[in-house]
Structures are given as structure tokens and as C-alpha cells.
């Protein structure tokens, strides 16, 4: 039996396995880096979502297609949540295509349309918390369906800053 050839074959197989593990690790690291960058940018977009600080204020949630290709059949499902009050859904937008790098905005009705000034004042004074829930679904250019979820809250009404507290995407 040729032990040199056997040793060389075993070495080759182990080298291929090691290479496969290294490539898998690299792919996972790149995915984690991209996920972190997306979460950071989502937090930046959460800033200044509250448009003014009077009863005529409204919330606008801005989304961005971070991919290199368009998103097809994009649907937004966004809600404002105030404890003790009915949830406020954003007006429904038609299904759309969002090009790579585009940033569509989903705007809610003005606060004065669904709450009185006393309640609005409590929201601005942070006595009543204001949260948003945003769900986006779309198909990529290959026909694969994806969805994203974000939940956030008003942190500083004077500077009109929201934070993104939770995100999920597939």
C-alpha cells in the first residue's frame, strides 16, 4: 500500500474541509456586518420622524432599500401605538417598486385628527408613550419573498427623535 499517496489524499480532504469552514465563517461575518450596518442606519432614519411639536404634528417613517437591486411588490403596514388609545394605522399605500437606494416615506395622519390637545400635550411631555410598529414585505428581483419588522418609540419630542428598539428581517 502506498502510504504517501494515502497521506496526501487525507491532507487534501482536510484542507478542503478547512477551506469550506473558512468560507462559511467569512460569509457569516459579512452577513453580521451588513445586519449591523442596516440596524445603525435604521436608527439614524428614526431621528426626526416627528414633523412638528404642535397638534398639527404627524409622524413620517422613512424606509430605505439598502440592496443593490429593486424591491418589487413592496407593501407597508405601519401603526402608531399609544397605551390606552386605539392604534392608529398609516393610510394604506398602493403596492410599489422601490429602487436600490430609494427612501419612500409612510406618513400618518396629523395628531389633531385623532386625539385632543390635552392628550397630545401628554404625549409631548412623555406622560403617554408613543410607539411605532412598521412591517414591510417585498419580493426581490429573483421572486423570493422577504419581510422586515421594526418597533420604536419617541425618545425626545423637543428634538423630534425616535429610537428603533427592535428590528427583524429575513
**One pLDDT digit (tens) per residue for the chain, 170 residues:** 666 655 554 555 545 555 445 444 444 555 555 555 555 555 444 444 555 556 677 888 888 998 899 999 999 999 999 888 889 999 999 999 999 999 999 989 888 888 888 888 888 888 989 999 999 999 999 999 999 999 999 888 877 788 899 999 98
Is there a domain that residue 86 lies in? yes
Report the candidate in 137, 153, 127 with the shortest Cα–Cα distance to residue 49: 153
Is there a domain that residue 33 lies in? no
Is there a domain that residue 160 lies in? yes
96 contacts 66 by C-beta, under 8 angstroms? no
Structural domain including 99 reads 43-169
Is there a domain that residue 15 lies in? no
Q: What is the Cα–Cα distance from 58 to 89, expressed in whole angstroms?
A: 12
What element of type H or E holds 88?
A: strand 88-89
Q: What is the Cα–Cα distance from 104 to 61, expressed in whole angstroms?
A: 8
Is there a domain that residue 145 lies in? yes
For the chain, what percentages of helix, strand and coil (3-state, to nearest 5) are there? 30, 30, 35
Count of residues making up the chain: 170
CATH number reported for the structural domain that contains residue 72 in this entry: 2.60.40.1400
What's this model's pTM, rounded to 2 decimal places? 0.67
How many C-beta neighbours within 10 Å does residue 61 have? 23
Is there a domain that residue 25 lies in? no
The three-point CA angle 142-144-163 to 5° equals: 115
**Based on the structure, what is the number of domains in the chain?**
1
Is there a domain that residue 12 lies in? no
Amino acid at each position: 500500500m502506498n502510504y504517501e499517496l494515502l497521506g496526501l489524499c487525507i491532507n487534501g480532504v482536510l484542507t478542503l474541509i478547512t477551506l469550506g469552514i473558512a468560507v462559511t465563517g467569512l460569509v457569516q461575518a459579512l452577513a453580521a456586518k451588513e445586519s449591523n450596518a442596516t440596524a445603525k442606519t435604521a436608527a439614524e432614519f428614526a431621528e426626526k420622524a416627528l414633523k412638528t411639536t404642535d397638534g398639527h404634528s404627524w409622524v413620517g417613517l422613512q424606509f430605505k432599500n439598502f440592496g443593490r437591486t429593486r424591491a418589487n411588490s413592496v407593501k407597508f403596514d405601519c401603526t402608531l401605538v399609544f397605551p390606552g388609545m386605539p392604534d392608529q394605522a398609516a393610510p394604506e399605500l398602493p403596492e410599489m417598486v422601490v429602487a436600490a437606494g430609494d427612501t419612500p416615506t409612510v406618513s400618518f395622519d396629523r395628531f389633531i385628527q385623532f386625539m385632543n390637545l390635552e392628550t397630545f400635550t401628554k404625549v409631548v411631555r412623555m406622560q403617554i408613550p408613543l410607539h411605532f410598529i412598521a412591517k414591510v414585505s417585498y419580493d426581490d428581483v429573483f421572486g423570493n419573498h422577504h419581510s422586515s419588522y421594526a418597533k420604536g418609540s419617541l425618545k425626545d419630542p423637543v428634538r423630534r427623535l425616535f429610537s428603533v428598539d427592535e428590528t427583524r428581517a429575513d
